Amino acid sequence: MAVNQKLQVHSKQNDSILLEASWSLLDSPPAQNSWQSIDISFQQTLVSSPIEVLNHLDDIYIVSDDATQKIDSKSFTSPKAFQFLLQCLQATASGTHHGRLVKLIIPLQQGYITRSDIIPLRLRDSEYVETAVSFAEPLQTYSGTGVPGTKASLSAIFSSAAAGLLLHQTPGSDIQAEYQTLSLSAESDLDNRLSLPWILPGTPPQKTLVLVDANSAHPEDGLGLYIAARELGIKLVVLDNGGSWLEKEEHAHWREAFIPTRITNPPEAEVGNHILRSVQAYGKPVDGIITFADSFWPYIAEIAPQLGLKTASPEALRTATNKYLLSKYVGHTAYNAFNLEDALDIANKHQLPYPLIVKPCDGWSSEGVSRVDNIEALTTAVQVIDNSRHGNEFVIEQYCEGPEVDINFVLQDGEILFFEVCDDLPKSADINGHSTTSHSNFHELNSVYPSILPQDEIALLRDSFLNTMLSLGLRDGIMHLEGRVQYSSMEYRLQNGITDLVPAKTTRPPEAWLIEINPRPLGMTGSYIIESTYGIDYWGLALLLGVSDKERVRALSKPYKLGPQYTCIMVFIPVDYPVTCQGIFDSEDVCADLKARRPDLAKQISRCACLVKRGQKVPHPSTGRNTFLAYFNVFSREGRDHALELARQVREEVRYSFI
């Protein structure tokens, strides 16, 4: 122990001591990384009432043999660091084991932080960390000199740190021994998770990015994109229709500027000109332009040269984002149509072999995607496409029966910086080529990370799909692809109520079957599972790629050193109610309800969200609309079988009703 002093919380009214806690600098493991890790032990030695203590946390003193010093927010260079200290004292006062262990992370490299929340981001679901708080501001610089623990004051140590970690409580009787074990375990975890250059040398880059389409109709839809931009220090100039929530003054802190711009989806022919005029009206230099609505990309690519900005070619983006053009490009037998008459004529003229897939050429979230097993089903499939959302053009193509996967690439200058594959377990329209429900749509049910496919099949998917993108001219971006493995050595099988991939008998070599290319990350909720499983935020990387910040893209594309931290399953809860109902949701938050009833399952849920509210009218699945009720990211460190069992229990425990 280098330092051992007392910290006291006093009452304003009578100056009595409400909490007396000793704080100690513990001997930390030798520095082997780009940071200094300092352990601080808070031990409760006197407490009158935890509630009373928590109401007087602004009267704090450090007591030593020769002096008493009051500390407050002015004693700390970072307000977030002072708030973390208060949080530690609250935990000490209200804890049942009379003490808490804290780690402070101090950079030992000179430079700027890659993103200000990088440490909490990389520590999500750590076994040893109860709370991780960043003290850093966007693009903050550090001297890299560290702190001499034996001489530094408590406020100096906190002020030098980039983040603080409140470790989980230890129930043992030998506190010092327990702290040493906990500290070593957390240190090993940090070595795995902070295995990336999170402090970069040089001058912090100041970048401005144009965002076409705000990507959310309301802040309740999720602020992940805007939080990432803030933590990265990227200024956003948002182009969207007037009346957006981002246009309001109370939300101005989320963007550099908002420029009302007429954009419709499906796009009008003039949308490119609308975008061009809005960027020119902004009148200041910009470093890039991006959208997360696929249909706008060809139009953006057409006008980008006039703004001095670089994108892939309009032809490449038009092919990638049109389901019919992409199917033809990769050699599938496919036909495009614009109405039911076209579809029936194609089916009769070409004697198409069933099963088939029908889907809008400009579609998303599996909306309007149907499996067709006969001519009657073809009629139904065409009728459920929502033309107001996806336009009139749709594609009719062969159905591939192999295991389906989601594949995500981080591409920079044609190089794969990161790549992962997940298994999309049988959807509502297929299992071994047969319908599993009365519906023929393709709403997701379970997505399992990482994939269990053999490495040779994963390599086949990677190489085949990369070659397709490069041949199109797609060399930069977060690319979200969907595909299947035709003639795979694995097949879906239902065993003990759980469906998973198992070895299959096959005599033909596997083939990669590309379904679609999305030049963007998978949806915000879907990207959360990548963030927690691998430590990588696709949305933040997409923003950095948009402004060509190559150094930070390369740094933040590095996953955990030991690979995925667990098996994680995104459990989708699709809406299901009798057609006789009005379709009005009549329950509260189903996620909060499940976690309250099953705290054992709550411990295995990384993230979750209920996507509808009581009183909301929800489309029936038969309409072809995205009808998800909720999602749960369920994880297990024991393995895939355990994760699948947990996912089964979560799905069965969801309770809701419709009227």
Per CATH, 321-398 and 566-658 having the same topology is answered no
Neighbours of 34 (CB within 10 A): 16
State yes or no: pLDDT of 29 exceeds 70: no
The model's pTM: 0.93
Binned at pLDDT 50, 70 and 90, residue 32 comes out as low
User: Which carries the bigger pLDDT value, residue 96 or residue 198?
Assistant: 198
Q: How confident is the model at residue 431 (pLDDT cuts 50, 70, 90)?
A: very low
Q: Is the pLDDT of residue 433 over 60?
A: no
| Portion of the chain with pLDDT greater than 70, in percent | 91
Do the Cβ atoms of 227 and 69 come closer than 8 Å?
no
For residue 254, the model assigns a pLDDT of: 97
Lowest mean pLDDT, pick from 31-35, 74-78, 396-400, 465-469? 31-35
The pair phi, psi for residue 422, each rounded to 5°, is -125, 155
Extended strands (E) in 457-546: 477-486, 490-495, 498-503, 511-518
Written in H, E and C, the secondary structure of 87-102 is HHHHHHHHCCCCEEEE
Mean pLDDT of 386-405: 90
Residues with Cβ within 8 Å of residue 592, at least 6 apart in sequence: 610
pLDDT at 523 over 80: yes
Which pLDDT band holds residue 96 (cuts at 50, 70, 90)? low
**Integer angstrom CA distances of residue 305 from 236, 275, 277, 455:** 20, 13, 14, 41
The model's confidence at residue 437, banded by pLDDT at 50, 70 and 90, is very low
Which comes out higher in pLDDT, residue 279 or 48? 279
The 10s digit of each residue's pLDDT in 355-375 is 999 999 988 777 888 899 999
pLDDT at 432: 35
- pLDDT band at residue 22 under the 50/70/90 scheme: low
Confidence bin at 645 (pLDDT 50/70/90): very high
Contact between residue 386 and residue 414 where contact means Cβ atoms under 8 Å apart: no
**Domain 566-658: top CATH class:** alpha beta
Q: Is the pLDDT of residue 121 over 70?
A: yes
Q: What is the pLDDT of residue 27?
A: 55
Residue 1 has pLDDT above 50, yes or no: no
Look at domain 321-398 and name its CATH class: alpha beta
- pLDDT of 402 over the 50 cut: yes
Beta strands in 332-438 (DSSP E): 334-337, 356-360, 370-372, 394-398, 404-412, 415-424
pLDDT of residue 31: 53
**The pLDDT of residue 179 is above 90:** no
Alpha helices in 58-117 (DSSP H): 79-94
Give the tokens for residue 607: 């993230």
Q: What is the pLDDT of residues 247-285, one digit of tens each?
A: 999 999 999 999 999 999 889 999 999 999 999 999 999
Domain boundaries, the chain: 5-200, 207-311, 321-398, 566-658
Say how far apart CA 485 and CA 400 lie, in whole Å.
8
The CATH number of domain 207-311 is 3.40.50.20: yes
Q: Residue 438: what pLDDT?
A: 40
What pLDDT does 91 receive? Answer: 87
Q: Is the pLDDT of residue 168 over 70?
A: yes
With beta carbons less than 8 A apart as the criterion, state whether 138 and 230 touch.
yes
| Residue 318 phi, psi dihedral angles, 5° rounding | -65, -40
Greater confidence (571 vs 426) lies with: 571
Asked if pLDDT for residue 622 goes beyond 80, the answer is: no
Answer whether residue 3 shows pLDDT above 70.
no
